[in-house]
Structure 1
Amino acid sequence: MNDAVENFKKIEKVLWIVLGLNLSVALMKILLGYNISSSSMVADGFHSLSDASTNIIGLIGAAIASKPADETHPYGHRKFETFTATGIALMLFLVSFNIIKSGIERLLHPQIPEVSSFSIIIMLITLAVNIAVILYESREGKKLHSHILVSDAAHTKSDVYVSLSVIAGLVAVKLGYPVVDPLISFVIALLILKAGIEIIKDTSRVLCDAAVIDPEKITSFVRGIKGVVDCHRVRTRGREDDFSMDLHILVNPSMTVEESHRLHHSIEEEIRRNFKGAHHILIHIEPYPDSSDQNT
């Protein structure tokens, strides 16, 4: 359990670092965007601000998820992290809607942005920061098996495309095509929406208890263990790095209680060794009707 707490402390550290970077990037984009009347840059700035808000949500989720198992949550609180990642996706949907709304207003009441080389340089700097955040958060998310960090890294990855779109829009404005600016904001909104949908698809599998591993793969493996005649009713649920498994094992009906108990432990150890992440294993032992088929 101490390892789990230590793991979440590392996740929190990453989120605090990313939060500081996202706030800095957001402020630069929003202030400059309003100063030059660029709707796409302002939209990108609020997108970065939403990144910061999701970092705060992530910190809250990580704090709850790090709590040990108790009487009301006997399997622990890890799903709170997944639930938090779903909240991040909902935030993205809201940001996407607001950007589309703002873009429509800009089309109806156009304002020509005042683009300078300085504004493009600022966007290039924020782009470099976003790339650094992606590389750092992605690496730590995979290492720590964190849904929050992986989801947030995917969110930030869309920021790179968004920033590239904004830079392209600013160049287009400078070349005399101001209508491109609000149109670029629509592209940004769609990219944000796509990132949210991908997060929902991933987290919904965990929250809806979708199978983590193909049952046939587990069945085939368990059938190869000495003493097991057959295996069926295999179910898994949870996350790839932390899932529950239950299965039924058929054995020779002449097997004693002590022998079946030893076999139970042997099967559990083999499963843990070969299926990383299987932390909760429930094995139901049944007598096989035809003992001549025993695997020896």
Structure 2
Amino acid sequence: MQHTERPQGDVKRILWGILALNLAVALAKVLYGWASRSAAMVADGFHSLSDGTSNVIGLVGITLAQKPIDRTHPYGHKKFETFTTIGIAALLLFVAFEVVTGVVDRIRHPVAPSVTAWSFAVMLATMAVNAGVYLYESRAGRRLGSDFLVADSLHTRSDILVSLSVLAGLAGVRLGLPWLDWAVALVIAGLIAWSAWEIIRDGANVLCDAAVFDPAFIDPVVRSIPGVREVHQIRSRGRHDSAYVDLHVLVDPHLPVVKAHDLAHRIEEALKGRLPAVVDVLVHVEPDLPGMELPEEPRIEPVTAPAHEHADR
């Protein structure tokens, strides 16, 4: 299975379409939320607005990430896409802060929201749009091999859950419990902040070169290649769609340089065939000498994505 470059034009066209839908959904929620004095609906609207902002940032990140390798970036520009996600997290934290300050103001100056059948109709309609966006973006992401689209679709799915919470708050107000409106808004703020934390955590793992693959998965692949006696110091870094692997192998100490070079190429081809996300493999060939002691291997846990997920792609 060979790694192929995804058609970025298709990814960008999808993001532009989703941006338009997200802005329409956000506008509907915010305007009706303000008109009906529903803090929860306004909060959910700003959450949807953050989705549109993330689409814009995603467009910028994907454009930068697709720049070819140059003299100053010999490993490419893939991490620009990851770096832009930190900006999305910052926006989400700002939105969460705005929601909380709005709730505090609402508690200090209580205003009972007006909940009608239209309130539920607006929420149900926007949830239907979000559900359609989630399904379309998720399928397109898998079809095009775009990790950004897949991740963004999961964020959209979280919006559906948030909207369900808003519906619960509206129902509470309708039942004579107006405090549920701002209580749900606080829950929404917490969900937004949690989403920001997840984005920061995942982005930091990539930017700080956390392990992508479990060495226990790579080890048997390398050992199965004729000529390899031992493998150790297996490391990986990068993104789950663009990963780098380096390792040490022990070989016959009398193996000619030409054959050692060929062996390194076969190791690289085997790993790329098994893990399509791998873009480069650095093999350090060492002679298997009598009495040679291997360094103690540290236990490495992949944090960007399980190895079997890459293998199954």
Alignment of 1:63-142 (within 5 A): 63-142=63-142
Deviation at 1:81, TM superposition (A): 0.8
Rounded to whole Å, the distance in 2 between the matches of 1:274 and 1:290 is 32
| Amino acid corresponding to residue 178 of structure 1 in structure 2 | P
Deviation at 1:219, TM superposition (A): 2.4
| Amino acid corresponding to residue 169 of structure 2 in structure 1 | G
Rounded to whole Å, the distance in 1 between the matches of 2:7 and 2:78 is 12
Rounded to whole Å, the distance in 2 between the matches of 1:149 and 1:128 is 19
Deviation at 1:147, TM superposition (A): 4.0
Partner of 1:198: 198
Partner of 2:225: 225
**Does the aligned pair in 1 maintain the 2:223–2:231 contact within 8 Å?**
yes
**Does the aligned pair in 2 maintain the 1:84–1:148 contact within 8 Å?**
no
Alignment of 1:1-296 (within 5 A): 4=5, 6-290=6-290
**Does the aligned pair in 2 maintain the 1:81–1:147 contact within 8 Å?**
no
Rounded to whole Å, the distance in 2 between the matches of 1:239 and 1:188 is 30
**Does the aligned pair in 1 maintain the 2:127–2:160 contact within 8 Å?**
yes
Partner of 2:308: none
Rounded to whole Å, the distance in 2 between the matches of 1:113 and 1:153 is 31
Rounded to whole Å, the distance in 2 between the matches of 1:32 and 1:118 is 9
Alignment partner of 1:231: what SS?
strand
Deviation at 1:279, TM superposition (A): 0.8
The number of aligned residues is: 289
Alignment partner of 1:284: what SS?
strand
**Does the aligned pair in 2 maintain the 1:115–1:170 contact within 8 Å?**
yes
| Amino acid corresponding to residue 234 of structure 1 in structure 2 | I
Cα deviation, 1:228-269, whole Å, max 9, x if unaligned, reads: 111122111012221001111211111112221221222221
| Amino acid corresponding to residue 109 of structure 1 in structure 2 | H
Rounded to whole Å, the distance in 1 between the matches of 2:146 and 2:86 is 13
Alignment partner of 2:255: what SS?
coil
Alignment partner of 1:70: what SS?
coil
Cα deviation, 1:97-122, whole Å, max 9, x if unaligned, reads: 11011111101101111111112101
Uncovered stretches (5+) of structure 1, i.e. residues with no partner: 292-296
Partner of 1:294: none
Rounded to whole Å, the distance in 2 between the matches of 1:212 and 1:188 is 32
Cα deviation, 1:52-98, whole Å, max 9, x if unaligned, reads: 11111111111111111111111111111111122212211111111
| Amino acid corresponding to residue 246 of structure 1 in structure 2 | D
Alignment partner of 2:114: what SS?
coil
Rounded to whole Å, the distance in 1 between the matches of 2:9 and 2:85 is 17
**Does the aligned pair in 2 maintain the 1:151–1:199 contact within 8 Å?**
no
**Does the aligned pair in 1 maintain the 2:253–2:288 contact within 8 Å?**
yes
Q: Which has the higher helix share?
A: 1
| Amino acid corresponding to residue 111 of structure 2 in structure 1 | Q
**Does the aligned pair in 1 maintain the 2:93–2:192 contact within 8 Å?**
yes
Partner of 2:307: none
Alignment partner of 1:246: what SS?
strand
Cα deviation, 1:158-205, whole Å, max 9, x if unaligned, reads: 211221122222222222221211111001111111222222222221
Rounded to whole Å, the distance in 2 between the matches of 1:164 and 1:141 is 25
Please report the RMSD computed on the Cα atoms of aligned residues, expressed in angstroms.
Answer: 1.8
Deviation at 1:149, TM superposition (A): 2.2
TM-score by length of 1: 0.92
Deviation at 1:145, TM superposition (A): 4.0
Deviation at 1:207, TM superposition (A): 1.1
Rounded to whole Å, the distance in 1 between the matches of 2:7 and 2:87 is 21
| Amino acid corresponding to residue 228 of structure 1 in structure 2 | V
Alignment partner of 2:126: what SS?
helix
Deviates more, 1:170-179 or 1:97-106: 170-179
TM-score by length of 2: 0.87
Alignment partner of 2:187: what SS?
helix
Q: Percent identity?
A: 48
| Amino acid corresponding to residue 70 of structure 2 in structure 1 | D
**Does the aligned pair in 2 maintain the 1:82–1:148 contact within 8 Å?**
no
Deviation at 1:12, TM superposition (A): 1.2
Rounded to whole Å, the distance in 1 between the matches of 2:29 and 2:209 is 40
Rounded to whole Å, the distance in 2 between the matches of 1:17 and 1:280 is 34
**Structure 1 32/40 Cα, relative in aligned 2: closer, same or farther at 3 Å?**
same
Rounded to whole Å, the distance in 2 between the matches of 1:157 and 1:86 is 20
